[in-house]
Amino acid sequence: MVGSAIWRALTGKGYTNLLGKSSKELDLRDQKAVSNFFESEKPEVVINAAARVGGILANNQYPYQFLMENLQIQNNLIDTAHKNGVEKFIFLGSSCIYPRLAPQPLKEEYLLTGSLEPTNEWYAIAKIAGVKACEAIRKQFGKDYVSLMPTNLYGSHDNFDLNTSHVLPAMIRKFYEAKINSKLGGHNEPVELWGSGSPMREFLHVDDLADAVCFALENKLPHNLYNIGTGKDLTIKDSAKLI
């Protein structure tokens, strides 16, 4: 979802010399394959939109994969880019890197000031390592490596699998299927959502994130870490009412 949105934004702005590989074409967990790709293609700029992602259920079921595979993907890209002379690297993470009880709205300086949310700490720890790797390269070598942390994303090519999706696409699918089943059965189908409905979430369309990535690409930003969002929170209950 994120990669395709960034690709659309770049082509829309007139960029033509673009390189992109699907996970089937290039396994970013394979250090040798990543190294061969960089030596062959010699990219000047790298945008890391690749990750193993999922919602609460997937994070709880596969903690090792969410930790290890994300570490492998980002470490291979960041380290290989640095070793091959790439001067600009944009690393994408998630707002889950911040402490579970951090004050709202989230600010970049809250990183590593408290305990993480237990349901996705494995993914968060991996992403924190990526942020710090980019910060270390920036500090030690002066390269323009920057980390962008988007809030909850939605949009074209989203994942609607109820076992691995995030909250918004999961709700959209549940309400859509309930509507279809209601028409077929002649009565209103109930929709079951997890939790109390009181947690707050901030949502961002993936095309808006792509615009932020383009801005970071075309400008040298003064800091390593930036949050990307709308600045507006909704409860899960209110989000469900909108859907």
pLDDT score recorded for residue 68? 98
Start-to-end CA distance of the chain, whole Å, equals 20
Alpha-carbon span 188 to 178, nearest angstrom: 8
Query: Among 69-78, 116-125, 202-211, 226-235, which stretch is predicted with the lowest mean pLDDT?
Result: 226-235
Does 191 reside within a domain? no
Does 144 reside within a domain? yes
Measured in residues, the chain has a length of: 243
Does 36 reside within a domain? yes
Does 55 reside within a domain? yes
Alpha-carbon span 179 to 169, nearest angstrom: 15
- Confidence grade of residue 164 (pLDDT, cut at 50, 70, 90): confident
For the chain, the domain total comes to 1
Q: Considering only CA atoms, give the Rg of the chain.
A: 19
161 vs 203, higher pLDDT: 203
Is residue 186's pLDDT more than 80? no
Does 181 reside within a domain? no
Region 128-144 average pLDDT: 98
pLDDT score recorded for residue 31? 98
pLDDT score recorded for residue 169? 84
The single-letter code of the amino acid at 75 is N
The domain containing residue 148 runs over which residues?
2-154+203-232
Does 177 reside within a domain? no
pLDDT score recorded for residue 222? 96
Mean pLDDT for all residues in the chain: 92
H/E stretch holding 30: none
Domain containing residue 24: CATH number: 3.40.50.720
Percent of the chain with pLDDT over 70: 100
Is residue 145's pLDDT more than 80? yes
Alpha-carbon span 66 to 51, nearest angstrom: 9
Alpha-carbon span 145 to 191, nearest angstrom: 44
Does 87 reside within a domain? yes
Q: For residue 229, give both structure tokens.
A: 């969002």
Is residue 202's pLDDT more than 90? no
Alpha-carbon span 54 to 59, nearest angstrom: 6
Active site residues: 123
Does 160 reside within a domain? no
Summarised one tens digit per residue, pLDDT across range 210-229 is 999 999 999 999 999 999 99
